Amino acid sequence: MSSVDPRAPLIPSVSQYEVDFVIPRVGIDLPLGIDPFLLFKSRDAQFRQLHLSLLNVFNAGILAVRHNDLATARYLFSFPEVSAIGMGYTRKGKRGSGVGSHLTDLILQTLTGSPSLTERGVRHVEEMQLLSAGIGPDRISDISANVLKRFLIDYTQRQCAIWDIPTKPGVPVGHIYDESKQTWVDSYEDLPVSAIDGSEILLVPRRLVRALPWINYDDFIRTEFSAYLAARRDQFNRGGIRSGEKEFTAKPAVVTVTRQDIGLVERYVRSREAQAADARPTLDYIDEDACKEAEALKQRLSSIPPGRESAADYQYMILEILNYLFNPDLIAGEPEVRTIDGTERRDIIFTNDSDESFWEYIRTTHDGILLMFETKNMEALDISAINQTATYLGDRIGRLGIIVTRQIPSEAIRRKIFSVWNDSSPRKIILTLCDAEIRELLDVRCRGGSPTKWMQAHYRKFRTSVQ
Amino acid sequence: MTGDGPVLQNEQSWGSRCRAGAKVGRSSVPVVPCFLMAQQNSEDARPARERKKSEKQAAVDALRNQRTKKLEAANSAVARLQDELRAVKKLTNRRDALVSHLGGFYQEIDKLAKGKTLLPVTPLMVEQANDIIRDAKEVVTDDTYLDRIKEFVPAGDNPPYPDVLVVMRGVRDGLERGEGQLQGRRSHLDDLLTEAKTISIALRLNVVDGEEVVLKENVEEQLGEEGVADAWFPEDEDGNESFDFDDLDTRDLDSYLSRPPDDDWPQDNDAEDSEEGNEEEGLEPDEER
């Protein structure tokens, strides 16, 4: 045990850059948490539904408190630490303080001490940080991980299937929230386990993690509460009364104020919602060398020969590269996605949940939160590949598709792609990325540039050529 | 061919034996009276004359048919050229309006651009700039530099002020060049229309009214103030100006009245020379082209 680097990744077979999830470390928690605000602001209906579930649990508990049904409230507000996600702020190891019941008490105290909150309910569970002295960012992540556990289990199983991560059948998982019955249940699931201590691992999408929640106590103090204090200072000065300012900077004093004046919390939350576009997932935890990674990807790409035999290898290679280049703007990349009726199969589908202006433009202009990449491991792209991609584009998948292939397409193919654009209404657009362009993108990423800006220029080039 | 010999000899002998007042049957060699021989000759020449006459009539009919078709071609060319001219006039008006609109837009962008080198323009400005570019390309065609200007594709980020300013300047220059282009097209279409009308009236006078020679003054009378195409009325030795049907009969009217502005329309002689030259070299006329 002592010879193992605690910072080593728990799943060594994949690189953090190339996957959609946060790879937990062997011996320490990553200083991150699930930020429910990233669910709230997402364009992905599933994420927004998860945020709603989180609020439903909370508001059901609040209703119980209002009806003086403290036993039900205590049951619903039961949020033990979910160590399986490997996130937290404990410096020394993987297990946190293990204060599930303490958290329950804190929530109940907060609610009983703030009738205005009980009356109003919560818009965001993060508001609890501003109303309780004992609830910090790590508790918000714990609450989220508990309520989202069913989603996290499903997500982990999907990612394990994609990346060929071994799982252990029948791993006991406790405290999964069943929303339909409003109960916590236990279950046995096929999950990856830690090679160190055999504990289950739950993977969390990179898109959902931040070092601090977007709505957080420190920011509240800096912004809304400072303004409140300034206003109070003026009031006292006009009345000739000197206030003991220091007494207000301690958290217990602050929460006393917020519990009495829930409007402060309300205003702050609204202002954070208005700035939602700036709420981006944290990436600082990725400490691998970006250039080394880019070089490795380039070499691996070159080693795959064109042809049908290597088509699957090429497809997964491209998925890794796209994750490296565009995550967390393009998330939940999945290969071999079949349509509901199973008749069509798309090579790679990403969810475009980006706040970058270009991806936002693509989402709105080409009608889709999904983005399709077709991988064609062939020397020369043929017309049938264009026709196939054009057929896939539409209401369900959006009207922008990207064909990733080995060589720059011929003039005839270019003209065919132009004709797809010209003959379709609403317009369908097919972009291509060849090996040389992929290498260029990897170099851009290595230099610290923006692959998204490169794609924007690539897109513009197509649109101006087709005029 | 040897079978024709005796007949010819016999005919010759008949001619040589014609005597005025000769009595039939009194000589061992038959002598034909001259009046009978003349009658015989006249009867022999009639079919040839009739054939010649009918051939002449056929040629006249063919020429009439050909000119009737040309009259139809000239009339349809008049209609087509009038439509084209109307379209060019519309484009000219559109260009003038666009120049005025662009002038205002350019001035405003120029003012706003001061000190905003890195700031993106608003979506409204991008939309207006793109409308101007699109309209300019419709009004002015075949301008290399205007063709190179493309509409802005914001793709999430609008272009900065200087970019819009530079492009609008390019469009403005393109529209200025387009003025000459439109004037040229208009003048060319005017010329073609005058020619088409001249040809149409000359043909009508010839085909419908049966005038063999169509004088310039007759056509002028019909066209009124519009004027005639002088080139179609060469002056003869006596100073008369009549329509040049010989020239018209050799021309493909559809092509002639659709020729592009800068085309060096080949003279008939040149064209013939060219074709002859090709034949000498064993080439079909189209092969060289």
Domain ranges of chain B: 57-260
Q: Does B3 touch chain A (CB under 8 A)?
A: no
- Which of B131, B157, B167, B171 has the most A C-beta neighbours within 10 Å, making it the best mutation to test the interface with A? B157
> Distance between CA B6 and CA B260 in Å, rounded?
66
The residue of chain B nearest to residue A364, with distances taken between CA atoms, is: B156
Note the pLDDT of residue A248.
60
Look at residue A400 and tell me whether its pLDDT is greater than 70: yes
Note the pLDDT of residue B273.
45
Task: Give me the domains of chain A, ranges plus CATH numbers.
Answer: 1-287 (no CATH), 290-465 (3.40.91)
Q: Does B151 touch chain A (CB under 8 A)?
A: yes
Query: What distance in Å separates residue B83's CA from the closest CA in chain A?
Result: 28
Q: Say if CB A374 and CB A432 are below 8 A apart.
A: no
**Residue B210: pLDDT band by 50, 70, 90 thresholds?**
confident
Query: What distance in Å separates residue A357's CA from the closest CA in chain B?
Result: 5
Identity of the residue in B153, B156, B157 whose CB atom sits nearest the CB atom of A464: B153
Stronger pLDDT, B264 or A399, i.e. the higher one: A399
- Percent of chain A exceeding pLDDT 70 equals 93
Identity of the residue in B150, B151, B155 whose CB atom sits nearest the CB atom of A361: B155
Q: What is the mean pLDDT of residues A287-304?
A: 92
The pLDDT mean for chain A works out to 90
* Amino acid type, B8: L
Look at residue A93 and tell me whether its pLDDT is greater than 50: yes
Residue appearing with tokens 């199983």: A157
Residue A86: burial class (beta carbons within 10 Å; 0-12, 13-18, 19+): buried
Residues in chain B within 8 Å Cβ distance of A459: 153, 155
Look at residue B195 and tell me whether its pLDDT is greater than 90: yes
Render the burial of A378-412: b for 16+ CB within 10 Å, e for the rest: beebeeebbeebbebbeeebbbbbbbbbbeebeee
Identity of the residue in A357, A463, A467 whose CB atom sits nearest the CB atom of B156: A357
**Per-residue CA distances from B59 to B46, B63, B268 (Å):** 20, 6, 22
Q: Does B156 touch chain A (CB under 8 A)?
A: yes
Identity of the residue in B150, B151, B155 whose CB atom sits nearest the CB atom of A459: B155
- Which of A460, A464, A465 has the most B C-beta neighbours within 10 Å, making it the best mutation to test the interface with B? A460
Look at residue A146 and tell me whether its pLDDT is greater than 90: yes
**Residue B8: pLDDT band by 50, 70, 90 thresholds?**
very low
Query: What distance in Å separates residue B156's CA from the closest CA in chain A?
Result: 4
Count of positions (residues) in chain B: 289
Q: Does A450 touch chain B (CB under 8 A)?
A: no
Q: Does B86 touch chain A (CB under 8 A)?
A: no
Residues in chain A within 8 Å Cβ distance of B153: 459-460, 463-464
Note the pLDDT of residue A43.
92
The residue of chain B nearest to residue A359, with distances taken between CA atoms, is: B156
Contact B150 A360 (CB under 8 A): no
Q: How many helices (H) and strands (E) does chain B have?
A: 10, 0
pLDDT in tens, A222-277: 999 988 888 877 776 666 545 555 556 688 889 989 988 899 999 999 999 999 99
**Per-residue CA distances from A151 to A6, A42, A156, A183, A202 (Å):** 27, 15, 8, 16, 10
**Residue A387 token pair:** 């026709």
Return the bridge partners of A404, or none: A375, A433
Q: State the pairing for strand pair A330-338/A168-178.
A: unpaired
**pTM for the complete prediction?**
0.75
Contact B151 A464 (CB under 8 A): yes
**Residue A387: pLDDT band by 50, 70, 90 thresholds?**
very high
pLDDT in tens, B232-267: 999 888 888 999 999 999 999 999 999 987 654 444
Contact B156 A463 (CB under 8 A): no
Residues in chain A within 8 Å Cβ distance of B154: 361
Contact A460 B155 (CB under 8 A): yes
Q: Does B154 touch chain A (CB under 8 A)?
A: yes
The residue of chain B nearest to residue A458, with distances taken between CA atoms, is: B155
The residue of chain B nearest to residue A357, with distances taken between CA atoms, is: B156
Look at residue B21 and tell me whether its pLDDT is greater than 90: no
Q: Does A460 touch chain B (CB under 8 A)?
A: yes
**DSSP category for residue B120:** B
Q: Does A361 touch chain B (CB under 8 A)?
A: yes
Residues in chain A within 8 Å Cβ distance of B157: 357-358, 456
Q: Say if CB A270 and CB A251 are below 8 A apart.
A: no
Q: What is the mean pLDDT of residues A453-462?
A: 96
pLDDT in tens, B169-180: 999 999 999 999
Note the pLDDT of residue B186.
92
Q: Does A467 touch chain B (CB under 8 A)?
A: yes
Look at residue B3 and tell me whether its pLDDT is greater than 50: no
Contact B156 A361 (CB under 8 A): yes
> Distance between CA A38 and CA A280 in Å, rounded?
8
Contact A358 B151 (CB under 8 A): no
Q: Does A404 touch chain B (CB under 8 A)?
A: no
The residue of chain B nearest to residue A361, with distances taken between CA atoms, is: B156
Q: Does B148 touch chain A (CB under 8 A)?
A: no
Return the bridge partners of B33, or none: B19
Stronger pLDDT, B127 or A93, i.e. the higher one: B127
Contact B155 A360 (CB under 8 A): no
Look at residue A408 and tell me whether its pLDDT is greater than 70: yes
Say which range, A48-57, A305-314, B9-18, has the weakest mean pLDDT: B9-18
DSSP states along B70-119: HHHHHHHHHHHHHHHHHHHHHHHHHHHHHHHHHHHHHHHHHHHHTT-TTP
* ipTM > 0.95 (yes/no): no
Query: What distance in Å separates residue A387's CA from the closest CA in chain B?
Result: 25
- Percent of chain B exceeding pLDDT 70 equals 76
